[in-house]
Chain A
Amino acid sequence: MIIFWVSVLALGILLYVLLDGFDLGVGILFGFTYNDDKRRVMISAVAPFWDGNETWLLVAGVVLWGAFPIIYAILFSALYLPLVFMLAGLILRGVAFEFRNKALHLRWVWDAAFAGGSLLAAFMQGLMVGALVAGLPISHGNYTGGEFGWLSPFSVLCGAGLCLGYALLGACWLVRKCSGEVQAGAYRLIPVLSLMAFAMLTAVFTVALREHLQVLDRWLERPYLFIFPVLGIAAGIGLISGVRRRRELEPLCFAAATFAAAFCTFAISFWPYMIPFSITIDAAAAPHSSLAFMFWGEGLFVLPLMLVYTALTCRVFHGKVRSQSDSY
């Protein structure tokens, strides 16, 4: 039961990062695009998807609450301000989809909200992952790191890194969903963004070494973990080769694989801890009656349905975006 819910949690987070990652990434790239036609195509490429994609964040949040309430309570109260700013970013990004088309003179406000909101949310998510990796001080089931304990050079670097990573995913999505100039621009961006993301990853790793982060010891203890960075690098090479050969789907798949590899690296470095290195999965799990109630309904029946809906949306909205006024 516990393993099932850890897996669902991991699946939820991974799907969120991949799916909303490309939405947020397109939002970030949107901020650096000044041509109005291009902007319209970009926003249309994610408009039917963002709501469903963002819901995976909620899945991660509520599974955490239902299955691991201690973690939910500690983590969310410890990361109070980053969460508030992330939510503010997501709110701005979310309403911008609807409001942009309705605005008469103030469209620039919602364009700024879309780009700025995406950037803010992405940065805060990276920062929180960074703070978690760097280690949150916990004693007797309470966070003791203070109001700004999540803020460190390491966590800021992680925030910037995730923005680049999402932008990369976004560019790959644009290659897949768009044609013409937007697609060509996205093809050109992918190598640049990959290089920048790689440089940022190196910087993050250097800082981690300098600060002797505890997580690095896990890598020495578990040398098999190096398989994931190797897979990540392989996927990165696949990504660039896909771009060179102008394949439309390959960059997206390989970028997703890179993210998945990074995610597995984290997950397995932490195992069996949920908050490294103070609270284990078993210690955090809710009572069996809670986990079982969730399992026999939402786990067994609704979760597969959710995956079906996600697939259905992708099926209905497959193919390329074309700028045409044929929807609401």
Chain B
Amino acid sequence: MHITALLLSRLQFAFTISFHIIFPSFTIGLAAWLTILEALHLATGRPTYRVLFEFWLKVFAVAFGIGVVTGVVMAFQFGTNWSVLARMSGPIQGPLISYETFMAFFLEASFFGILLFGRARVAPWLYLVSTAMVALGTTLSAFWIMVNNSWMQVPTGYVLSQGGFVPDDWPQILFNSVVWVRFPHMLLASYLTGAFCVAATGAWYVLRREFNAEARVMLHMGLGLAAVLLPVQLFFGHLVGDYVHDRQPAKFAAIEGRWHDEQPAGEVLIAIPDPATETDRYQIKVPVLGSLIGSLSLHSKEVGLTDFPREDRPPVAIPFFAFRIMVACGLIMLLLAWVGTYLSLKHRLERHRALLQIIFASFPLPFIAILTGWFTAEVGRQPWTIYGLLRTADAVTPILATRTALISLVVYCTLYAFIGAFGVLFIYRLLRAGPGGRLVLPPGSGRGRPLLTGNDPLIAAPESP
């Protein structure tokens, strides 16, 4: 393959955004979990909740830090590598992204400081509010990103003028059905990520026979939340599929591995798509199911990839496989969450050590599901960056030299590998050490403390935990 600035820019965008999304999806869920813990502690006064809060806050801090610094790159990358896109869609995407910065980042950044350094400086209620504000900030951030990405997937509420997209219907851009199925889908995915990481950590400690009280809370709350949310998530996943079916038929055909029109259409469960012959090899196919999934009908005609000119088709293999991996992860998580919750309701979960081991080992599943879900969405919309309107190849910065693009790609890859490796190591160490140890403020002692007491000194961070 010929190496061009376009190819390098695409690789760079794919790499930086894939790396980045791992951390926000984790912290969105964790922030909600922290808020629940802090509220539970204030309501019940049970020390376990405080111990858990302080434990997960340390994990949160590492993941949040990496999420923040890698997120800044994204806001600049549209201008550096995709200047044509930035100029043409700037009047729409710029305001959306600016809302994210204004509404979300300031909430997160300001109240996160209070979370980390302000326990002894603010009243308990304000500390709880700060936690909730951080959670709200992460959620708002996800909202604006999903509005922005949904507009690129299904552009709406614009007119073309002077070689650019001019917004003429903001309510349509913000409140269309595509946004409101994709945003919940992403939000639920983040909550599930948090839930599974918490449950897996709990399972680990139960297996090690350590931190019994905390481990049980983690295991039960994590699995319980996942058991409730997963069916909802599958439902929203189906709705996302519906919009793809109706608005991005080429992507839908690629996901389905359907090369030719079929009536009624079958559903390819697994196969190896072969673009050269425009067929699927080694396929296992269920008849009629394709029509049922696509149109909720037994005899609808479903569109095949060959209906589209070759230059308008997405690559098939990545969306095809990524989608199946995502669904498989979701189904395994559903099974684990339901069986685990059933057993924990019967108070028998701690005895099933094999199941606990599987739950412990399942923490990568939600991350894999999120990444493959995004691969499906983003690769599936190729060759377009703004679907049907602007091709990725035309969106790249025209003056970008291959050497320059290579330098930045190498810089980002090296840097991210470096901070990613250490971040994972530090999170692993925190989790291995487990909750316990010294608390910043003993549970209960912060109660009734006046807001912003006069002269207490700014407290420096400890050298080691």
- What residues make up the interface of A, taking CB atoms closer than 8 Å to B? 40-41, 43-45, 47-49, 51-52, 54-55, 57-59, 61-67, 69-70, 72-78, 80-81, 83-85, 87-88, 90-92, 94-95, 97-99, 101-104, 142-144, 147, 177, 286-287, 289-290, 293-294, 297-298, 302-303, 305-306, 309-310, 312-313, 315-328
| Contact pattern, B 256-290, Cβ under 8 Å of A = 1, otherwise 0 | 00000000000000000000000000000000000
- The CA-CA distance from A317 to B117 in the complex, in Å, is 8
Interface size on B, residues (CB 8 A): 90
Pick from B97, B408, B415, B452: contact of A81, CB below 8 A: B408
Which residues of chain A have C-beta atoms less than 8 A from B411's C-beta? 84-85, 88
Which residues of chain B have C-beta atoms less than 8 A from A78's C-beta? 399
Which residues of chain A have C-beta atoms less than 8 A from B101's C-beta? 55, 58-59, 61-62
Which residues of chain B have C-beta atoms less than 8 A from A45's C-beta? 458
Which residues of chain B have C-beta atoms less than 8 A from A64's C-beta? 94
List the A residue with the shortest CB-CB distance to B78: A65
Contact (Cβ within 8 A) B102 A303 = yes
Pick from B83, B109, B161, B426: contact of A76, CB below 8 A: B83
Most buried by B among A57, A104, A305, A326: A326
Which residues of chain A have C-beta atoms less than 8 A from B166's C-beta? 287, 289-290
Which residues of chain A have C-beta atoms less than 8 A from B79's C-beta? 61, 65, 72-73, 75-77
- The CA-CA distance from A294 to B103 in the complex, in Å, is 12
Most buried by A among B76, B108, B170: B76
A69 and B99 contact, Cβ closer than 8 Å, known pairs A305-B106, A324-B460 = no
Contact (Cβ within 8 A) B122 A101 = no
Contact (Cβ within 8 A) B457 A327 = no
A51 and B103 contact, Cβ closer than 8 Å, known pairs A91-B415, A177-B458, A290-B91 = no
Which residues of chain B have C-beta atoms less than 8 A from A327's C-beta? 116-117, 119-120, 440, 459-462
CB neighbors of A among B86-136 (8 A)? 86-87, 90-103, 105-114, 116-122
Contact (Cβ within 8 A) A320 B106 = no
The reply on B423 being an interface residue by CB < 8 A is yes
CB distance from A171 to the nearest CB of B (A): 18
Contact (Cβ within 8 A) B426 A289 = no
Pick from A74, A85, A87, A177: contact of B72, CB below 8 A: A87
CB neighbors of A among B418-455 (8 A)? 419, 422-423, 426, 429-430, 440, 452, 455
Which residues of chain B have C-beta atoms less than 8 A from A289's C-beta? 91, 166-168, 170
CB distance from A57 to the nearest CB of B (A): 7
- The CA-CA distance from A91 to B429 in the complex, in Å, is 22
From B57-65, B197-205, B305-313, B323-331, the one touching the partner chain is B57-65
User: Majority SS of interface residues in chain A?
Assistant: helix
Q: Can you list 19 A-B pairs, Cβ within 8 angstroms, ordered by A?
A: A40-B463, A59-B102, A69-B87, A69-B164, A70-B87, A72-B87, A77-B79, A77-B81, A78-B399, A80-B397, A94-B68, A98-B65, A102-B465, A104-B464, A294-B98, A302-B102, A309-B109, A325-B461, A327-B462
The reply on B70 being an interface residue by CB < 8 A is yes
Contact (Cβ within 8 A) B398 A142 = yes
Which residues of chain A have C-beta atoms less than 8 A from B38's C-beta? none
Most buried by A among B100, B429, B457: B457
Which residues of chain B have C-beta atoms less than 8 A from A319's C-beta? 455-458
A290 and B113 contact, Cβ closer than 8 Å, known pairs A95-B419, A98-B62, A321-B458 = no
CB distance from A146 to the nearest CB of B (A): 8
Which residues of chain B have C-beta atoms less than 8 A from A59's C-beta? 98, 101-102
- The CA-CA distance from A28 to B464 in the complex, in Å, is 23
A324 and B459 contact, Cβ closer than 8 Å, known pairs A142-B399, A294-B95, A316-B118 = yes
A317 and B415 contact, Cβ closer than 8 Å, known pairs A66-B97, A293-B167 = no
Contact (Cβ within 8 A) B69 A297 = no
CB distance from B333 to the nearest CB of A (A): 29
Pick from B81, B400, B457, B463: contact of A101, CB below 8 A: B463
The reply on B213 being an interface residue by CB < 8 A is no
Contact (Cβ within 8 A) B460 A286 = no
- The CA-CA distance from A302 to B110 in the complex, in Å, is 14
Contact (Cβ within 8 A) B458 A322 = yes
Which residues of chain A have C-beta atoms less than 8 A from B110's C-beta? 52, 309-310, 312-313
